[in-house]
């Protein structure tokens, strides 16, 4: 039986020291010109010292003209390699690995954030309330699609040069790669749309370009949705076939999540106690042939240990529990009973409680506290966190934020 403390050798030959992963959480700690701020190395030092084997950075954008939110870090050239290097060094304390999550938002970028508008596989707006917050994108040309794969590859190579130990492509949560996978958002009639083979072409070509750029011995992972939870969207059956294709190409780690801004299941799940995507993870692991990580909703040590022991996944990803306590992994690894006190945030102000601003503001503020060496105050009213983040970033920026 596999224990959460067991090391694991990835297909590329690199070994990770245990089965716990810190999921990507966007820190919004980029400078005005999108370099990593000094809080990032400080924050990652705390996470690395907390015992977690692999630390995924919050999403780092591959194109400064395509931000997903204010405060994004961008890695597209050599300008800020020194700052990225400090971040990489601190994230690898105590034998931890630090991987950069690379992302492009496609059309899932707040209206007005990117001066040149947004691009996507097809020129389709979001439906419902989201149509107001996100503009209608322009359809990418085939040449631009090829350029984007090259852009991901260049960013991956830069992450490697900066000293990070791996990269992860963000193909989940409704961003560009996820838009290509979904038949709701991709209605192209060329080789990048239509059949699932065509819809997954951009992801697979990008994976191959990244692999070629970083070489065979550098970890390259992918974060993928189990499903978009939308009728006519990317389904579990589609996802299983993508998992299989990534496995055949030697993806080092497939991290499973689910949902998009339209249906934020990655944050909410469906009320399961054993992790939001555990059932799907079992099915995916059976066809992957490469290590699988499942992320979302894991709160207590016993459940995490049994997910590894019973073959739900090879690794378990933790997001919010590691903000509440950056050393929560130590308790999981120690074999003790422990539970993370992550719970939905409420103010009693209905419109605020129904939106995601509070949750995002609270976790961003908490990550800043961790970076300053403080502890996170679980009992404090979330309105204070919202006030502090608004004071730092401007209320307009906070209200233009993402949902996950
Ligand atoms: C503040 C915040 C920011 C997030 N940013 C990202 C991100 O940049 N990339 C990503 O793949 N997931 C992101 N997520 C989702 C997490 O990686 C994870 O899938 C989700 O929080 C569920 O895990 P948990 O229940 O352990 O928190 C974010 C979550 C939070 C709370």
Q: How far is CA 365 from the centre of its chain?
A: 18
> Is residue 23 within 6 Å of ligand 1 at its C-beta?
yes
Q: What is the pLDDT of residue 393?
A: 73
Q: Take residue 10 and report the two structure tokens written for it.
A: 């990835």
Ligand 1: which residue has its CA nearest to atom 26? Answer: 319
Ligand 1: which residue has its CA nearest to atom 11? Answer: 24
Q: What is the largest CA-CA distance in the chain?
A: 54
Cα of 92 from ligand 1 centre, angstroms: 21
User: Could you identify the residue written with the tokens 């130990």?
Assistant: 165
321-336 pLDDT, tens digit each: 999 999 999 999 999 9
Q: How far apart are the first and last CA of the chain?
A: 34
CA distance 192 to 203: 10
CA distance 263 to 229: 7
Alpha helices by DSSP H, 343-393: 350-354, 357-371, 382-393
pTM of the model: 0.96
With a cut of 80, say whether residue 203 has pLDDT above it. Answer: yes
- Which among 58, 92, 1, 23 has a CA at the least distance from the CA of 253? 23
CA distance 327 to 96: 13
> Is residue 26 within 6 Å of ligand 1 at its C-beta?
yes
Between 49 and 362, where is the model more confident? Answer: 49
Q: What is the pLDDT of residue 367?
A: 97
Ligand 1: which residue has its CA nearest to atom 9? Answer: 24
145: left (phi over 0), alpha (psi -120 to 50) or beta: alpha
Ligand 1: which residue has its CA nearest to atom 22? Answer: 296
With a cut of 90, say whether residue 389 has pLDDT above it. Answer: no
Q: What is the pLDDT of residue 164?
A: 99
Confidence class for position 359, pLDDT limits 50, 70, 90: confident
Q: What is the pLDDT of residue 151?
A: 98
With a cut of 90, say whether residue 318 has pLDDT above it. Answer: yes
Q: What is the pLDDT of residue 355?
A: 65
User: Could you identify the residue written with the tokens 């389904």?
Assistant: 235
Mutate to test the pocket of ligand 1, among 20, 22, 25 (most ligand atoms within 8 A of CB): 25
The CATH code of the domain at 8-342 is: 3.20.20.70
313, 285 contact by CB (below 8 A) = yes
Cα of 139 from ligand 1 centre, angstroms: 28
| Nearest atom, ligand 1, residue 257 CA | 19
With a cut of 70, say whether residue 57 has pLDDT above it. Answer: yes
Q: What is the pLDDT of residue 212?
A: 98
Confidence class for position 262, pLDDT limits 50, 70, 90: confident
With a cut of 90, say whether residue 269 has pLDDT above it. Answer: no
Confidence class for position 396, pLDDT limits 50, 70, 90: low
Q: What is the pLDDT of residue 270?
A: 66
Query: Could you tell me which residues come within 8 angstroms of residue 396 by beta carbon, excluding any fewer than 6 positions away?
Result: none
Mean pLDDT of the chain: 93
Q: What is the pLDDT of residue 354?
A: 66
| Average pLDDT for 47-71 | 97
CA distance 404 to 402: 6
| Average pLDDT for 343-357 | 74
CB atoms within 10 A of CB 332: 28
> Is residue 296 within 6 Å of ligand 1 at its C-beta?
yes
> Is residue 59 within 6 Å of ligand 1 at its C-beta?
yes
239, 203 contact by CB (below 8 A) = no
Q: What is the pLDDT of residue 324?
A: 94
| Average pLDDT for 100-127 | 96
> Is residue 404 within 6 Å of ligand 1 at its C-beta?
yes
The number of residues in the chain equals: 404
Cα of 258 from ligand 1 centre, angstroms: 11
> Is residue 340 within 6 Å of ligand 1 at its C-beta?
no
106, 182 contact by CB (below 8 A) = no
> Is residue 321 within 6 Å of ligand 1 at its C-beta?
yes
- Which among 154, 149, 179 has a CA at the least distance from the CA of 77? 154
> Is residue 122 within 6 Å of ligand 1 at its C-beta?
no
| Nearest atom, ligand 1, residue 318 CA | 26
| Average pLDDT for 156-183 | 98
Q: How far is CA 148 from the centre of its chain?
A: 19
Q: Which of 67-76, 358-367, 387-396 has the lowest mean pLDDT?
A: 387-396
List the domain boundaries for the chain.
Answer: 8-342, 345-404
| Average pLDDT for 146-167 | 98
With a cut of 60, say whether residue 135 has pLDDT above it. Answer: yes
With a cut of 70, say whether residue 398 has pLDDT above it. Answer: no
| Nearest atom, ligand 1, residue 68 CA | 8
Cα of 190 from ligand 1 centre, angstroms: 33
Cα of 142 from ligand 1 centre, angstroms: 31
With a cut of 90, say whether residue 123 has pLDDT above it. Answer: yes
């Amino acid at each position: 039986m596999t224990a959460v403390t067991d090391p694991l050798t990835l297909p590329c030959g690199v070994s990770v020291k245990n089965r716990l992963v810190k999921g990507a959480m966007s820190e919004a700690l980029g400078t005005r010109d999108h370099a990593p701020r000094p809080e990032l190395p400080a924050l990652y030092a705390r996470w690395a010292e907390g015992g977690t084997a692999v630390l995924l950075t919050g999403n780092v954008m591959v194109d400064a003209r395509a931000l997903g939110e204010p405060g994004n870090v961008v890695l597209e050239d050599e300008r800020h390699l020194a700052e990225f290097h400090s971040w990489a060094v601190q994230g690898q304390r105590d034998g931890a690995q630090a991987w950069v999550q690379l992302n492009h938002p496609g059309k899932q970028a707040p209206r007005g954030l990117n001066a040149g508008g947004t691009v996507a596989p097809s020129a389709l707006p979001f439906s419902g309330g989201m149509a107001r917050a996100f503009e209608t994108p322009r359809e990418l040309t085939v040449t631009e699609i090829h350029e984007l794969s090259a852009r991901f590859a260049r960013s991956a190579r830069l992450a490697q040069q900066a000293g990070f130990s791996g990269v992860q492509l963000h193909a989940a949560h409704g961003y560009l790669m996820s838009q290509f996978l979904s038949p709701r958002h991709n209605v192209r009639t060329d080789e990048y749309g239509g059949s699932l083979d065509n819809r997954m072409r951009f992801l697979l070509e990008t994976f191959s370009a990244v692999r070629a750029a970083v070489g065979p011995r550098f970890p390259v992972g992918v974060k993928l949705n189990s499903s978009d939870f939308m009728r006519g969207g990317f389904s579990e059956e589609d996802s299983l076939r993508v998992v299989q294709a990534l496995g055949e190409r030697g993806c080092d780690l497939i991290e499973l999540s689910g949902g998009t801004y339209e249906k934020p299941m990655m944050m909410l799940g469906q009320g399961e106690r054993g992790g939001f995507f555990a059932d799907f993870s079992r099915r995916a692991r059976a066809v992957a042939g490469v290590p699988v990580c499942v992320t979302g909703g894991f709160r207590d040590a016993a459940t995490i240990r049994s997910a590894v022991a019973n073959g739900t996944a090879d690794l378990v990803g933790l997001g919010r529990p590691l903000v509440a306590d950056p050393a929560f992994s130590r308790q999981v690894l120690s074999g003790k009973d422990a539970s993370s006190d992550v719970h939905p945030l409420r103010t009693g102000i209905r419109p605020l409680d129904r939106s995601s601003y509070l949750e995002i503001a609270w976790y961003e503020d908490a990550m800043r506290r961790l970076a300053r060496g403080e502890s996170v105050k679980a009992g404090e009213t979330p309105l204070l966190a919202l006030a502090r983040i608004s004071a730092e970033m401007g209320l307009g920026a906070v209200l233009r934020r993402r949902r996950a």
